[in-house]
Structure 1
């Protein structure tokens, strides 16, 4: 009797549903991972299962033995046991789905880049929770983790992941109204709507969405610092309308909601009411996987030991990794050369020198001033308000840490402070780093802004 792979997997899933407690998995994991696996074929007593991403495959491999036991409990083919084989497959859209998505997008601009997909997002320990939450949003027919707030440093793939959710939702339900924009674009559209008397149109667009994807939420910090009360009021009511209607909201920021300054308590409480997940800097293994994915996608010929060297040498973010690969690939193509380790070393050294040459004391002080909304003139004066002292101490610490300026020079940049004041400031910041992981993360984020 011929066995249908799909029917076999469906029956297995139903039995597994009753065994999840025994297998020590949660209902959420079952819905997020097991339901994102589809049957391939069944031949030679091997059931091939297709996973929608490498994360799902890695997770399913851990339950392979349990799944094989379940399959063999419910279906006996011969004396030979049925084996399970997992693979990752890229989901291809049917011509009908492609047409429906294009038709929908022609009627309403989504702001999405169709190249950003869940199956080409490299998942590591740094992003596993965020990716898992995004999968749950896509798979659920109702809004979950609402709002979903994803935060982390620049260049870590937050925008890719959020746009991938939008694309996946449209693939599943092409009729849905999904819209991606930055916070700055939202504010600019709002101001233009007021000026041109199109507020009804503006509200019709934003308040009737099924999914709102809003990037760079930290931009509100600048607007509200200037007294943007009307903007906050409009966003507050838009947010409330969508949430009350059961519509999904996903937001991105470079910091945790409570670390965004100038937010009103009502907005802050709404931002943290859902699920906040952090994407951290990638580990060596994740950086290597990202490089391998880029190489495979762009069909770049490069030795594995060179990829290992890049992954070991560059620990900042995904954009930097891709930038280095693009640089050395362009050179190799233009000069008809083979990519060598020496070329890669030269490229990385050149980029480091370029970055360092752009960093000076003035830039560091400007970034601190902007980050903490303290005028440079106040930082250089003898004012002793706590928020000014705090910004001044951080600036002194980073001037020493990044540029290794001597104490007298640092003191001179702040109105002639003596070296004992500078030493005291640096030690206070060092103490805060030891005492608070939250403060350490804040400082790391500021440092990253400076070096970028």
Structure 2
């Protein structure tokens, strides 16, 4: 039943590893799964590539179907939705019969899940169709869940009415996984493959790659394959050989982070190095230090040196402070997401 609805096997709440980066999103998704259509409608999940948005959306769908197998649910990618809309005018002429069938299909759903809605940009006709579906489903308390690579208000070439609908329920972000979460994900992925992954190897991979879950899994597979090919146990040494040349930091540098953070907070780049303790400057500096620890492989001492010669204790304090705050503040999560999105332009 779940497969017919477009849901992938294995993408459940049980296989979703929880950490500070996704805890709020996971809790929100569980709430929606337990009370579909009643609260948080629509649910808008946003974040970078490969962070678990799709997994979480499918987990909600599977939970809804488990609780009520008769639910008329559809999980579909934005690209497939676009193709369905385009097919309505095959040959350059709209078919009343096709339109009626399309409308009946979508307007009679109990739950609609759409992945990667950012691909609907510049698709005016498709956006109009989706808007009409929103207008048909939401008043009936039918659940809608959307995933996107950015916050709804950051979408370009979108109908303002549709963006308004996206944000009318609950918007939650999934942030890049912190070190502990990356390691936990690797251990679970290995377990799913029947492989015993030493903890020190999980830590090594988690340190080497800090981008997204897909790349973590790719690195893990490289390690496992090397062990199988050479018939050797998985050790730190073997992992280092398998991961030669692989890094998750791209060309992101501390200087990139300082500049993007300074621009976001509208302060001078020199403030990152200065001794100024004005509240907004100090806060921006702490965020930049936190991002430097998360997105580069620099030590606390190296990071402190790049921020005007500060000692490692100052950097550690900033990292702990921002880590704690982001677990409690949706606004801070959104700020970090925007800066991280901007940093992608450096790659």
Structure 1 length as normaliser, TM-score?
Answer: 0.56
Look up the match of 1:266. 161
State the distance in 2 between where 1:430 and 1:150 align.
24
Look up the match of 1:154. 49
Q: Give yes or no for the alignment of 1:177 onto 2:8.
A: no
Which residue of 108, 112, 123 corresponds with 1:208?
108
Q: Is the 8 A contact 1:149 1:252 kept in 2?
A: yes
Tell me: higher relative CO, structure 1 or 2? Use CA pairs within 8 A at least 6 residues apart: 2
State the distance in 2 between where 1:239 and 1:202 align.
14
Label 1:331 to 1:220 Cα distance change in 2 as closer, same or farther (>3 A). Answer: same
Q: Per-residue deviation at 1:295?
A: 2.0
1:39-77 residue CA offsets vs partner (Å, 9 max, x unmatched):
xxxxxxxxxxxxxxxxxxxxxxxxxxxxxxxxxxxxxxx
Q: Give yes or no for the alignment of 1:442 onto 2:338.
A: yes
1:301-321 residue CA offsets vs partner (Å, 9 max, x unmatched):
332211122222221111111
Unaligned runs of 5+ in 1: 1-100, 360-396, 403-425
Q: How does 1:263-412 map to 2 (within 5 A)?
A: 263-352=158-247, 401=256
1:132-170 residue CA offsets vs partner (Å, 9 max, x unmatched):
111111111543200000001111111011011111111
Label 1:440 to 1:203 Cα distance change in 2 as closer, same or farther (>3 A). Answer: same
Q: Is the 8 A contact 2:124 2:159 kept in 1?
A: no
Q: Give yes or no for the alignment of 1:217 onto 2:113.
A: no
Q: Give yes or no for the alignment of 1:433 onto 2:264.
A: yes
Label 1:439 to 1:275 Cα distance change in 2 as closer, same or farther (>3 A). Answer: closer
State the distance in 1 between where 2:261 and 2:42 align.
35
Q: Is the 8 A contact 1:306 1:340 kept in 2?
A: yes
Label 1:251 to 1:184 Cα distance change in 2 as closer, same or farther (>3 A). Answer: same
State the distance in 1 between where 2:219 and 2:262 align.
36
Count of aligned positions = 276
1:381-411 residue CA offsets vs partner (Å, 9 max, x unmatched):
xxxxxxxxxxxxxxxx99x949xxxxxxxxx
Secondary structure of 2:102 counterpart = helix
Q: Is the 8 A contact 1:432 1:439 kept in 2?
A: no
Look up the match of 2:300. none
State the distance in 2 between where 1:114 and 1:440 align.
32
Cα RMSD after superposing both structures = 2.7
- Runs of 4+ displaced beyond 4 Å: 436-440
Q: Is the 8 A contact 2:223 2:243 kept in 1?
A: no
State the distance in 2 between where 1:431 and 1:246 align.
43
Whose Rg is larger? 1
Q: Is the 8 A contact 1:124 1:286 kept in 2?
A: yes
Q: Is the 8 A contact 1:433 1:440 kept in 2?
A: no
Label 1:205 to 1:302 Cα distance change in 2 as closer, same or farther (>3 A). Answer: same
Secondary structure of 1:316 counterpart = coil
State the distance in 2 between where 1:231 and 1:139 align.
30
State the distance in 2 between where 1:161 and 1:440 align.
21
State the distance in 1 between where 2:59 and 2:150 align.
21
State the distance in 1 between where 2:58 and 2:21 align.
18
Unaligned runs of 5+ in 2: 267-283, 285-331
State the distance in 1 between where 2:203 and 2:196 align.
14
State the distance in 2 between where 1:322 and 1:245 align.
40
